[in-house]
Structure formats: structure tokens, C-alpha cells
Amino acid sequence: MLPEHDHDHPPVAVPVSRPERSAALHRARRLNRLTLAWNVIEGLVALAAGLAAGSVSLIGFGIDSAIEVSAALILTWRLHQERRGECMAGYDRRATRLIALAFVALAAYVWAQAVTDLAGGTKPDASVPGLVVALLSFVVMPRLARAKRALAPALGSQAVAADAAQTRLCGLLSGVVLVGVGLNAVFGWWWADPVAALLIGTLAAAAGWRAWRGESLADTCCG
């Protein structure tokens, strides 16, 4: 059985047998395909709802989904390298750095747009579809993140851990979006939406910094 790990501490590689590594790899690929499918749907709905309502937090949430799709595609490439049967440390490091840059790209866009909306007093409309997709994400994403993170030690993959962090961030951001969009819908507090977007950017930047500086795990196929 693969161990559970605290989200507040980096995962530590654990020695596993070849069948255990193979099982972890199979599950990681399955969860990655699920992540891709979910985030394509989530991103399209969030972006459409955000553009229709003029909601920067929903647009930022949709872009986060797009970035999570890119992170999942990067991880797909990383997991595909396993067929080489060689040490994965170099591939893993490259994938982790690319995922970290995706976090930073999200932060830069959302900050710029949120500051523009706050300065201009842009008032977004209420968005029921946006609230629904954010609520679903708030329920689903944390569970998916935990399942993915538990596989990182068995594979010795910091890229898997970074991708799990991106999925966890998606869950956190959905909560932020629920608050920002909800306050605007219920009380008409238009500024809550761009303020929520600023928080989204801050969380994304922090996650990118942690991923970039994170130490590589001991690759369990190199032993």
C-alpha cells in the first residue's frame, strides 16, 4: 500500500518493488487522464461564464484549468519516458520546472487583470454557471490531489508532486472564486471578484516558487 503524506511537507521517496512501481505508474497515468478530461470541461465552462459575466476571478480560474491541462500534458510526457527503462531524474526535473513556470504565468496574468479591474471599477455580473463549476471543483479537486500526491514517493517523482500541488491549488482557487463571485452575486460587492483574483495570483505564484525550488526526489528506478 502506498503511504499518505502531509500536504505541508515535501514527499519523500520510498523504496518499492518493481511491481509496486508499475502499479503506481499505472494509477498515475489513469489519474492524469482524469485530470485532463475534468479540466478541459471545467476550463471551458469557467472561461465562458467569466467572459459573459466580466468576472476576472472566473476567467483566472478558467486559465488555471488551462494551465492545469498543460501541467497534465507535461506530466504525460514525463510518465511516457518511463518506457525507456532508465533513470528518470533528468526528465523529472525538466517537467517540474515547466510546471513551475505555468504557475508563474497564471499569477502574472491574473494580477495584471485584477489590478486593471480594481482601478477601472469594472463591475462583473452574477454567474450561476461559474458558481456551479467552482463548487464542483471545490469538492472534486482536493480528493484528486491527495490521490496523485500519494504516488509521488513510490515513483520518486517531484513532477508528480508538483502536478498534485497544481490540482490542490485548483481546489483552493475554486473556494476563492466561490467567495468572490458569491459576494458579488448576493451583495453586489463588485470589488470582491478582483480581490479574489489577486489572491488566486498570490497562491499561484507561491506554488510556482515552491515547485521551482523543490528538491528532486530520489528516483526509485535508479537504485
Distance separating alpha carbons of residues 16 and 91, to the nearest angstrom:
20
Read off the C-alpha cell for 70.
498543460
**How many C-beta atoms lie closer than 10 Å to residue 193's C-beta?**
33
Q: At what angle do helices 56-80 and 18-53 cross, to 10 degrees?
A: 160
Cβ atoms of 71 and 201 closer than 8 Å: no
- CATH architecture for residues 18-213: Up-down Bundle (1.20)
The predicted-structure confidence for 104-156, as pLDDT tens digits, reads as follows 887 888 788 788 878 887 777 778 888 888 899 999 999 999 998 888 888 77
The pLDDT value recorded for residue 69 is 87
What pTM value is reported for the model?
0.71
What is the share, in percent, of the chain residues with pLDDT greater than 70?
A: 86
- CA-CA distances (angstroms) from residue 117 to 47, 54, 69, 80? 17, 10, 26, 42
> Among 83-97, 115-129, 205-219, which range has the highest average pLDDT?
115-129
Is 210 buried (19+), middle (13-18) or exposed (0-12) by CB count in 10 A? middle
Distance separating alpha carbons of residues 148 and 39, to the nearest angstrom:
15
The pLDDT value recorded for residue 85 is 60
Read off the C-alpha cell for 136.
464542483
